[in-house]
A and B are shown apart, each in its own frame.
Chain A
Amino acid sequence: MKFRLDTQNGITVGIAELEGRLDASGSAPLQKASADWQTKTPFLVFDCSRLDFIDSSGLGAIVGCLRRSLENNGDLRLAGLTPKVAMVFDLTKARKLFSIFSNAGEAAASFGATPTAIQER
């Protein structure tokens, strides 16, 4: 999982690239890494364009990351869902929990327009 900070929109947004499979074995490392990322910024984007597979435990981990972001007055937004991953989000209705964008740049830029982000600035 690569992580970088983006400050282009006047707000620090953490962009994490998720790759490969996100299942039971990948959930705990994601939760752990997310806790670390939250110390840098509560505004997170998960770039899922290279995520091939997700199961319910991976989904649970992402929802956990969202909950932590919301608790810190931030948000977690998703970008570039592949068709298979999108199907899981549709099936489980998890799509309704997230703001989903076509790419990470758009998702990061979207934070610039949120009331929370404006307040921060």
Chain B
Amino acid sequence: MKTLIAIKEADCNWMRETLPGTQPLLAPLCNKPFVEYLIDFAILAGCREIRLLSDGPLSQIEEYCGNGSRWGIELTYANLHPSDGEPELLRKNRKFCGEERTMILSGCTFIDYDKTLDYRGLASIDSGGTIASCPGGSITLAGPLEPSLTDQPLPPVGLTPIGDLKSYCRIAMTTLETGSSRYVLPGYGGEPGCAIGRNVTISKTAQIHKPASIGNNVRILPGAVIGPSAIIGSNVIIDKGSTIKESIILDNTYIGEQLEIEGRIASKNTLIDPESGVTLAMQDPHLLAGINGGATALVLWRKIVHALAAALLLLLLSIPFAILYPLLRLRGKWQDVPSIPNAGLAESIASAFSLDRYPLLPGVLTGRLAIIGSRTHENRAANHTGTDCRPAVFSYAETEAWAATESDAAIVERYHALHSTPLGDIGMTIQALINRIHYRNPT
């Protein structure tokens, strides 16, 4: 038996806002792309050749699924017209279908199957066409009957439409609760109801309450509470003390500190209430933000710009440092340079040129530090583990006068770490240098 999986863009319009840019077949359901559930069912029904049909772009899904070898099947792709019904699909794909029994899975619907049951009987039942249907989708059989490969009676097959966020959320939660006893779900788990992906760091003081599914490359920081009924995607950071309950956190999302997410979907900086459909795009990156996984070029460019700035500072300050460092060290005054203004001419000059930071500058050349970012000299960067931590010689907080307290400084650092540009960093470094002079020597 062969399978045609047909999905039309119009069936999945509701996904546009929640998962912009994602092929509907790749929408994650309990950390597993929707298409994999369909493929799993087709395999359970004895299909070894599957064709994916869509009226939208297929490149994303082709890239993900490849030729199907990972499932031990042959997977091909083709386009369909939005108005195509099942007869047209069969006609247009008659070369693929040949004279074999063909199962057509159409629409954005979830198949309630059980991986422990044998669905190979579908090839031999004379159903007269549709064997299951629901608003928006169906399972149809066409072509000649095949000899039965099983003696088992055909298990019931149910369909649930995924027509909106509410149903998407409900199906994801049901799948999570049903767990790996019924579906093949990703992740490792020592006990039922909890699946954890690769490269997951969970703090000792974080709590995980079943059922929960956690994707790959996830960091759960101290005091965070995950679950019950929490689906955490891949490339996610749950910051300190936050609670995620009955919610879905989609891939590449940062959840800030001390937040409470209950009955919501979070996708990057967007928070969605699946019940009402209300969508909120947060503008506070320290609360909710996207994690950009593809910023390698920007990171490299930033490192080059910072290294050039550090090299320039090393060159410009080399003479004052060469003269003043030994002098102040001998007088035992070097450690006073950052804090005591006007203690003497040498100290004042050293302070004005921020020579106390000079020994840190080579760290920028080696890529260990940034020229500007989070403060390393107060050891806060080492304690801060968010996405926005960039240990540096100068702090973004030093560019702004109002950041008086530690928490103010942290807000400023996080804001600029997420919004600054490499060239903007140079301007801010100059600003920090000026501010350091000004605030050490207030008039």
Contacts and interface: CB of A to CB of B under 8 A. Distances in A.
Interface stretch (B6-14, B259-267, B323-331): B259-267
A91 B259 contact: yes
Choose among B260, B284, B287 the residue with the greatest number of A CB atoms under 10 Å from its CB: B284
Interface stretch (B212-220, B272-280, B377-385, B428-436): B272-280
Contact of B287 (A23, A83, A91): A91
Q: Is chain A's interface secondary structure helix, strand, loop, or mixed overall?
A: helix
A93 B278 contact: no
Interface string A97-112: 0000000000000000
A83 B264 CA distance: 13
Nearest to B285: A56
B273 A23 contact: no
Given A92-B259, A93-B259, A87 B278 contact: yes
Contacts of A23: 283
A18 interface: no
A90 interface: yes
> Which of A23, A87, A92, A93: most chain B CB closer than 10 A?
A87
A93 B286 contact: no
Interface size class of B (residues with CB under 8 A): 10 to 19
Contacts of B276: 83
Contact of B284 (A56, A83, A84, A87): A56
B127 interface: no
B271 interface: yes
A93 B260 contact: yes
Contacts of B286: 56
A63 interface: no
B281 to A, nearest CB: 9
A71 to B, nearest CB: 20
Nearest to A84: B280
Contacts of B283: 23, 55
Contact of B278 (A55, A56, A84, A91): A84
Given A55-B283, A56-B284, A92-B287, A83 B273 contact: yes
B284 A55 contact: yes
B441 interface: no
Contacts of B260: 90-93
A90 B258 CA distance: 11
Interface string A79-92: 00001100110111
Nearest to A85: B280
27 contacts: A23-B283, A55-B282, A55-B283, A55-B284, A56-B284, A56-B286, A56-B287, A83-B273, A83-B276, A83-B278, A84-B278, A84-B280, A87-B273, A87-B278, A87-B280, A88-B280, A88-B282, A90-B260, A91-B259, A91-B260, A91-B287, A92-B258, A92-B259, A92-B260, A93-B258, A93-B259, A93-B260
Given A84-B280, A91-B259, 11 more contacts: A87-B271, A87-B280, A88-B280, A88-B282, A91-B260, A91-B261, A91-B288, A92-B258, A92-B260, A93-B259, A93-B260
User: What are the 10 A-B residue pairs with the smallest beta carbon separation, nearest first?
Assistant: A83-B278, A56-B284, A87-B280, A84-B280, A93-B260, A55-B283, A55-B284, A91-B259, A87-B271, A83-B276
